[in-house]
Amino acid sequence: MHSGRGAGAQLPADHNFAEIWADFRPENQYTGFDQLVVTPNSQHRPAAQTILSGRRPQNRNPSFAMIHQRHPSRSCHLRAPKRRAGEQTTRSRCNPNSLVIGFAIVASFIGSTAQAERWTALGGTKTIDAKMIGLWGDSVVLQLDGGRRVTVNLLNLQAESRIQAQELARKQVTFRETIVGEIKSAAEEAAAPAPTPLPEPPPAATYVPFKSGMSVIDQLEWSKQQQQAGHIIAAFDALPPKYQADIEQLAKTAAAKIDAATLQSIISSIHQIGDVIVTKQRWVFSHPRFAAMEDGSADAIKEMLLPVAGLIRVGLDPKAFDLAAFQSTPFRSWLMQRDQAMAPYIAELNELSGAANLLSFQLKGEKDGVATVEVTMGTVKTLVQFIAVDGHWVEKASADEWDKSISEQTQQLADTPNGSYLAGGMTSMIPDLITPMVNPMAQATTAEEMHVAMDPVFDNFVGPAVGTLMAVANMSTGPGRGNNNPYGYNDGAYDSYSSGYGEEGMGTGMEAMNMESYGESYGQSQGGSGPSSSPPTSDSSNGGYKEAMEAMKNRGN
């Protein structure tokens, strides 16, 4: 760095704008100088006579009185307006970005004093209006209206002008420190693994509580609107009070059968996937394989993957699955907490899919308390019968089987030892599969480390995941249950709800959760007729990316 003992001392190759500014701190070095010029050309301007004192202040120890960018290239040189005999001017290679930032701050300083001040000579006989450029040592640099700059020794000014110069200098120092801090903060933010604060979807629409006694069409429309807004609580509130009590009793009984440690291990490992994707999203999506994808493909993946990851991150918060706390909390209150956390992400995913826009209902007839409704999903039409139970419309097929189903599952839970679910079964191996994949990404401290950790994920996970995303993108065009028909309007829908609460709400993995029924409904959502109709998969080596991305970009068309 420049020492102030001569003009143009060599700067280190990796110096930055802060070092450039250090060269402009002339404490104990400058007793005055003729002129400070910031100019893009190589022509020196003649030094101006100091108009207030009528004499030139001595420049006993000149440093650079001018920053001069010689050429818009990577090189620059710094030199004083004068050289002593035999003195060499040393050129210094420097980072052009440092110069740009340095010039920007210089311009900011100049612009920060937009209003000219009044300056009065010591004798009080001469006064001028000029903008203060800076204060170095005992000299103040002023800019006149025409742009000409002059240097005045503080001793040649009245006390009021000296105080004014010192006050303005303090403001400039504060301003400079603020600008430098902002630049550093911006650089740190740009290099951070994710934006600060983390982006979140817009708040979900306010939940509209269920009103008992609605018509069947009004209830179906209410369910559609609330679930489109992401409110999972709507499916529970749509059930009659007795059904709600049965669900709560089963949930509390099932919770006692789960091995708490294994549940926490499973939930935590899955939660970590969403957490890594969200909190290191810049590094994740800067992976070269994303950049190598076709135009729009990476954006399509990001658009779908971020809300999914966010949903996992907030929906599977391990604290929410503390079984002791769950047992002491009313089930609807616990479900409402999950609803408030998850609704914005579910709503965003619903918006991306556009499926709800294709769903409509038409009452075809009502006889002997049974209402027949035509449910239309896209081009698929289904006739569903509903009956009223305590002011709530329920699918007739589900109502007919409800008591029997609850009784069977209650007995099955009674025959199961406490703490036995998840202990030692295949489900307990989930953390062993996830942790080796996710931990290296979670521990990455740079984008490069993240990319290395992600390579196995691309090979073993992204291909199938893209196939699943393609299924989501296409879900508005095919018949069946699941996302195509989120309200389950066919036989056994409410039975599926009662038998699936543990899987979806508590992640119990119980045999009573009827995984075969879940697989059947999932297969139908892909246009198949049973478990064998699994979602399509894709591999980066067989062109599946192109097919999947094309489907995602064209979804909703």
pLDDT of residue 90: 39
Q: What is the pLDDT of residue 469?
A: 58
Calpha distance 343→233 (Å, rounded): 10
Task: Indicate the residue type of 471.
Answer: A
- E strand or H helix that includes residue 384: strand 380-389
pLDDT tens-place string over residues 307-364: 999 999 999 999 999 999 999 999 999 999 999 999 999 999 999 988 778 899 999 9
Residues 6 or more apart whose Cβ sits within 8 Å of residue 369: 387, 388
Domain residues of the chain, as ranges? 17-191, 220-358+395-553
Count Cα atoms within 13 angstroms, Cβ side, for 35.
19
Beta bridge partners of residue 367, listed in sequence order: 370
Q: What is the DSSP string of 440-477?
A: HHHH--SHHHHHHHHHHHIIIIIHHHHHHHHHHHTTTT
The DSSP 8-state label assigned to residue 549 in this structure reads H
The span from the CA of 195 to the CA of 491, in Å, is 47
* Rg of the chain over all Cα atoms, to the nearest angstrom: 36
Buried b (16+ CB within 10 A) or exposed e, 488-522: bbbbbbbbbbbbbbbbebbbbbbebbbeeebebbb
Place of tokens 């009659």: 240
The token pair at 388 is 């009223």
CB 62 within 8 A of CB 7: yes
Is pLDDT at 541 greater than 50 in this prediction? no
pLDDT number for residue 242:
97
Burial of 224 (C-beta count, 10 Å sphere; 0-12/13-18/19+): middle
* Cα 303–chain centre separation: 11
Tell me the sheet residues that pair with 490: none
* Order of strands across the sheet that contains 75-79: 37-39, 66-68, 75-79, 91-93
State yes or no: pLDDT of 504 exceeds 80: no
The predicted pLDDT at position 303 comes to: 92
- Burial group, residue 452, by CB count within 10 angstroms (0-12, 13-18, 19+): middle
Mean pLDDT of the chain: 73
Alpha carbon distances (Å) from 128 to 56, 117, 144 = 17, 8, 8
Give the pLDDT confidence score for residue 411 in this predicted structure: 96
Question: What is the side-by-side order of every strand in the sheet holding 117-120?
Answer: 117-120, 127-136, 139-143, 149-153
As beta bridge partners, residue 429 has none
53-72 pLDDT per residue, tens? 434 444 433 333 333 333 33
pLDDT of residue 457: 83
Of all residues in the chain, what percent carry a pLDDT higher than 90?
Answer: 51
Mean pLDDT of 131-160: 92
Distance CA(476)–CA(470), nearest Å, equals 11
CA angle 348, 352, 355 (to 5 degrees): 110
CA distances from 152 to 31, 254, 273, 504 (A): 10, 86, 65, 78
**In contact, 373 and 360? CB cutoff 8 Å:** no
Phi-psi category of residue 310: left, alpha or beta, with phi > 0 → left and psi -120 to 50 → alpha: alpha
Give the three-class secondary structure for 91.
Answer: strand
CA atoms within 13 A on the CB side of 290: 18
Per DSSP, the three-state class of 37 is strand
Most confident of 79-83, 105-109, 233-237: 233-237
Residue 355 phi/psi, 5° resolution? Answer: -70, -40
Residue 101 has pLDDT above 80, yes or no: no
Is the Cβ–Cβ distance between 425 and 509 less than 8 Å?
yes
Alpha carbon 457 to its chain centroid, in Å, reads 21
Say yes or no to pLDDT of 405 above 90.
yes
439-497 pLDDT tens trace: 999 999 999 999 999 998 887 766 666 666 556 555 544 433 344 343 444 444 334 33
The single-letter DSSP state of residue 318 is G
- pLDDT in the model for residue 462: 65
- What is the Cα–Cα distance from 110 to 188, expressed in whole angstroms? 27
Burial of 435 (0-12, 13-18, 19+ CB in 10 A): middle
| pLDDT reported for residue 298 | 86
pLDDT average, residue stretch 276-281 = 96
Q: Which of 254-263, 399-408, 544-553 has the weakest average pLDDT?
A: 544-553
Q: Which two tokens stand for residue 104?
A: 């920007």
pTM reported for the whole predicted model = 0.60
Q: How buried is 17 (Cβ within 10 angstroms: 0-12 exposed, 13-18 middle, 19+ buried)?
A: buried
Give the chain's count of helices (H) and strands (E): 19, 12
Task: Give the pLDDT confidence score for residue 364 in this predicted structure.
Answer: 97
What class has domain 17-191? Answer: mainly beta
Instruction: Tell me the C-alpha distance between 276 and 429, whole Å.
Output: 21
pLDDT band at 77 (very low <50, low <70, confident <90, very high): very low
